[in-house]
Structure 1
Amino acid sequence: MTQSLQPGLADAVDSLSPANEQWLEATPASIEAIDSHAHVFVRGLPLASHRRHAPDYDATLDAYASHLRAKGLSHAVLVQPSFLGTDNAFFLDVLLRYPRRFRGVAVIDPSISDSELQRLAASGVVGMRLNLIGLALPDLRAAQWRDLFARINALGWHVEIHRDAVDLPMLVTPLVEQDCTVVIDHFGRPDPEFGANDPGFRYLLTTAKSGRVWVKLSAAYRCVIGESGVSLGTTLTESLLDSFGAARLVWGSDWPHTQHRSVIDYDASRDALARWIPDASLRTIVLRDSPRALFGFA
C-alpha cells in the first residue's frame, strides 16, 4: 500500500536547485535519451521489514537531475528500491510532479486492490518489479500470481525480474506462458566465471524468440565483485544484440549504485554504453527508441 509522504520527507523532493527545477518543469522538446533504471530515496523513509541493506545516504532528485542534464538524458524510469518494500510514495511523488520526464516501476503485493493499481497507473507507473535476490523463489503459476499478472497485462504493464541467471528459467517461462511482457534486470546477472556461457544466460537468449522479453544493459558491476564490470558487459551485450537486436534492449545507470559506489559513478555508467555498443545508430535505439516504446513515453 502506498502512503503519503511525511512533511519533512516531502521537502526532500522540493529541495531542487533553480536550474534543475527549471529543467524538470520544462516541456521536453523531444525524447533525446532515456535512463531506464535509477532510484531516488532519502534517509528516514519507512524501510521494508525484510531487506538486505539500508543506505546511510540520500539519493535526491536534485542530484539525479544534475546527472541527467549533464549527460544529455531527457527522460528516466524510476524503480522502487527493494529496501523500501511496497511503500512507493517517495518515487510516486516525483512522477506526479514531473510527468513529462519520468515513468515508474513499483513494488507491489499480489493482494493489491484494483483501485490501487489504477491509481499507480494514473501516476505514471508502467511496470511491477520482482526483486528476488536473496529470497525464496515464488511459484508464479500459483493462483494469486496468475490473478495479479492478468491484471498487470490488462494495464499494459511489464514484469521486471531481478534474479541471478541460474533461476531465470523458473521465472521467465511461466511469465511468458501468461503473456506477460518481461524485463530482465542487469544483464540477467550471469555468473562472471562463465560470462555469456552461463547456462541461465544462454536460456535468456532463447527467450528472444517469444517477442515478450526485454533486457536492461545495466549494472554489470553487480555480477563482478569489486570491479566495474565494463568488460563483462561488452561480452554480454554482443550476445544480447545477436539474439534480441537493439530494439528490445534498454540502458540504465542503476544510480546511485547502491553497495557499489566505490567502483562506479554516473559518468562511468553512462560512458560504459559506448564500450558495449560502439555503433552510434544502435546506441540511439537502445537509449531512445526501445525504452520509449517499452515504458510508454509519448
Structure 2
Amino acid sequence: MSSYEHGMTRRRFAAGFVAALSATGLSGAMAEVVSPRMSIDTHAHVFHRGLKLAPGRRYAPDYDAPLDLYLKQLDQNGITNGVLVQPSFLGTDNSYLVECLKATNGRLRGIAVVDPAVSPDELRALDRAGVVGIRLNLVGQPLPDLALPEWKALLAQVKALGWQVEVQRNASDLAVFAPKLLDHGVNVVLDHYALPDPKLGVSDPGFQSVLKLGASRRVWVKISAPYRNGADGEQFAKQAYPLLRAAYGVERLLWGSDWPHTQFEAKESYTKNRKFLDELVTDADERARVLASPRELFRF
C-alpha cells in the first residue's frame, strides 16, 4: 500500500468513527481528536527526468522528485495537504502537474505556469483539475508589461476564476510590480519572504515597501525557503516574521517546504524545514493557524 493509500485509509477510519460517535451524541466532544486540523504545505515541486524540459531554462535537476515521494514527506511530517508549484524548468507544459493533482483526489492543489496567450478553455481545464493560480517566476527575466492586451486578458481570466498570481522576484521589484497586479483585481502571493537583498535583510527599502502591501488585504507572503535569502537566511527569517505578521496578519502568511529544495538539496530536507517553522513561530496555536489559514485561498 502506498503512503497516499495509507493516508486515505486513516481518513476513512476517522470519518467512520465520527459517524459512529454522531449516533451516540459524542461527536462534538471527540471530532477534534479524530479529525486533526488541516495543515497545508503551500510550496513544493514534483518532477522526474523523463519530462520534457523548457527551452532557455536556467537550471534543471539531475534527479527525480516524484509524487509518491512528496506524499511520503507530507505523511511523515504530519501535513494533511499540499500545493504543487509548476517548476520553471518545465515551462508551460503542466501535464505532469495535472496528472499528480488528479491522482490525489483533492489532497493537493496546483499553481500552473501558462503562456499569456493561453486560451480560456485551457484555463478552465486546469481549474477543473485543481489548479488555483498561475506562477510568474521572474528571477532573471524582464518584468512583463501588464498593459499589453494578452496580459490584460489573462489577468481578467485569473480574476474570473478566483485564482491567485504567485510571483517570485526580488523585493525592490515586487514593491513596484505587485501593485500593478492588484490594479487588475487579482490576489497576489509573494514567494520566499519576498526575497529582499540578502545584504540588507529587513532593512531593504524594497522589503519595507512590501510590508505596506499588507494593507491591501489581497497579498499573501510565503514564509518558505529561508535559505534562498542568503547564508544567514534563518536569522533573517526570524527578524522578518514578526514584521510580516504585524503587516499582513497570521492568516496571510503561508508556510511552504520548498521541497525538494532545488539547488540546496545537499543541506536541506523536508523535516529540517518543518522543524524550523517551530523555531520561527513558537506559539503552537499561532503555528497551527499559519498551517491551516491557506485553506480558503487554495480552495481546500
- Normalising by structure 2, report the TM-score: 0.89
DSSP-derived class of the 1:150 partner: helix
DSSP-derived class of the 1:137 partner: coil
Number of the residue aligned with 1:177? 183
The alpha carbon displacement at 1:262 in A equals 2.0
Provide Cα deviations, 1:157-210, integer angstroms capped at 9, x if missing partner: 000000011211231011111111000000001112111111111111000111
Number of the residue aligned with 1:263? 267
DSSP-derived class of the 1:294 partner: coil
Number of the residue aligned with 1:254? 258
Cα distance in 2 between the residues matched to 1:224 and 1:21: 35
Given that 2:45 and 2:259 are in contact with CA atoms closer than 8 Å, whether structure 1 keeps it comes out as: yes
Higher mean C-alpha displacement, 139-148 vs 245-254: 139-148
Cα distance in 1 between the residues matched to 2:78 and 2:8: 16
Cα distance in 1 between the residues matched to 2:119 and 2:156: 13
Cα distance in 2 between the residues matched to 1:67 and 1:160: 23
Number of the residue aligned with 1:160? 166
2:5 is equivalent to residue 22 of structure 1: yes
Cα distance in 2 between the residues matched to 1:178 and 1:104: 22
Cα distance in 1 between the residues matched to 2:161 and 2:188: 14
1:296 to 283, 295, 299: 299
Provide Cα deviations, 1:196-238, integer angstroms capped at 9, x if missing partner: 111111111000111110000101111114x6x2221111111
Instruction: Extract unaligned runs of 5+ from structure 1.
Output: 1-17
Cα distance in 2 between the residues matched to 1:84 and 1:142: 25
What is the count of residue pairs matched by the alignment? 277
Cα distance in 1 between the residues matched to 2:46 and 2:88: 12
The alpha carbon displacement at 1:247 in A equals 0.7
Cα distance in 2 between the residues matched to 1:23 and 1:136: 45
Cα distance in 1 between the residues matched to 2:7 and 2:57: 31
2:125 is equivalent to residue 119 of structure 1: yes
Given that 1:130 and 1:162 are in contact with CA atoms closer than 8 Å, whether structure 2 keeps it comes out as: yes
Larger Rg: 1 or 2? 2
2:216 is equivalent to residue 213 of structure 1: no
Given that 1:88 and 1:106 are in contact with CA atoms closer than 8 Å, whether structure 2 keeps it comes out as: yes
2:109 to 84, 103, 114: 103
Given that 2:4 and 2:72 are in contact with CA atoms closer than 8 Å, whether structure 1 keeps it comes out as: no
Give the partner amino acid of 2:279. R
Number of the residue aligned with 1:13? none
Cα distance in 2 between the residues matched to 1:243 and 1:73: 26
2:67 is equivalent to residue 84 of structure 1: no
Cα distance in 1 between the residues matched to 2:253 and 2:10: 26
Cα distance in 2 between the residues matched to 1:112 and 1:27: 40
Number of the residue aligned with 2:69? 63
The alpha carbon displacement at 1:143 in A equals 2.1
Runs of 4+ displaced beyond 2 Å = 23-32
Cα distance in 2 between the residues matched to 1:78 and 1:261: 18
User: RMSD across aligned C-alpha pairs, in angstroms?
Assistant: 1.4
- Normalising by structure 1, report the TM-score: 0.90
The alpha carbon displacement at 1:23 in A equals 2.9
Cα distance in 1 between the residues matched to 2:99 and 2:150: 29
Cα distance in 2 between the residues matched to 1:260 and 1:217: 17
